[in-house]
Amino acid sequence: MTLKPAPEFNPLAARQTQDWQHDAHLLCCRVDPTGRFVVAGGIDHCIQRWEIASGTKTTLTAHTNWVRTIGFSSDGATLWSGAYDGQWITWDLTAQTPQPVRQIQAHRGWLRGLAVSTDGQQIATCGNDGLVRIWNAADGQLIHELSGHTSIPYCVHFVPESSELVSGDIRGAIHHWRTTDGQLLRKLDASEIHNFVGDLAPFGGIISLAFSPDRKRLTATGLHKTSNAPAGNRRAVALSFDWASGEKLPKQESIKKELDSTMWRAQYHNDGTLLGIVEKEVGFWKPGEVDAFHLIATPSDIFDLDLHPNQLDLYT
């Protein structure tokens, strides 16, 4: 018997293998935990579900504004979506044509971020009303309302394998919460990735949050080096913290190749490599290194990315 070695994660050898078309801009994408579907939300208020093996596309409709964020149950059977209509919606992803199971009006104004706890029992959301809310995933009941951000929170992320949550806002404040009682445990300062347009309107902030596989590093992404915000002159950046001490670590960005861009999302590979969005390119950073060791160009602007559970295929 001959055994073939398992494929290795090698960004330098990456190439495009599929290109599924849609007639509206897509703002978020995730691969379900079973690896069967890739799901994306767009500015047409719809969710698209592609079956990876066949490329078959199914449209999910219920939101009334841009769909900005999505999450799954660990078995891939349930999808939760959040949109600028302020709602989060529960879907049975296994249905041939999924229909809404439950619709929750979660925030006044836009719902900005949504996260699913490791055990799948809680949903966290944040929105333009300045609030972070924690919900029971099974019945949609509100568990905690967390107030404390002085500006709009953009994103939420459960601390892996814990009863804790982090949220990041437009002014660069990260709040660390305990979900059992809603207690604010500490704050981290990432205000250097926040700026103003004409000293008036906030620009930048914490757009996404991610933990390293060993849970020793929390990474916030966004933009910095703003020289002319209205014209889009800025640089994508990832700013990390030592999770235990809160110590700020060196920023990671694309230095050798400078691009006007925002890092809409970053994600860690299981080997510790950081993947991040740099305009139309995906950058790859080794742990502790400030400059990307590789960039992959794509045909269009990227607003989200996600690794397949096989840790080899990447979707944008």
pLDDT tens per residue, range 196-227 = 665 555 577 999 999 999 999 999 999 988 77
pLDDT, position 204: 79
Residue 100 and residue 96: Cα distance in Å, rounded?
13
Q: Set out the domains of the chain in order of their start, with CATH numbers.
A: 24-105 (2.40.10)
pTM of structure: 0.94
pLDDT, position 231: 59
Tokens 């409709």: give the residue. 61
Give, for 181, the enclosing helix (H) or strand (E). Answer: none
Is pLDDT of 5 > 60? no
Torsion angle of C-alpha atoms 82, 280, 312, 168, degrees rounded to 10: -40
Mean pLDDT of 284-289: 95
Is pLDDT of 75 > 60? yes
Burial of residue 116 (CB within 10 Å: 0-12, 13-18, 19+) is: buried
pLDDT, position 1: 47
pLDDT, position 3: 43
Residue 146 and residue 178: Cα distance in Å, rounded?
10
Residue type for 300, please? S
Q: Average per-residue pLDDT in the chain?
A: 93
pLDDT, position 123: 98
Mean pLDDT of 276-292: 95
Q: Is there a contact between 262 and 207 (Cβ–Cβ < 8 Å)? A: yes
Is pLDDT of 190 > 70? yes
pLDDT, position 111: 98
Q: What's the token pair of residue 33?
A: 């935990």
Mean pLDDT of 48-64: 97
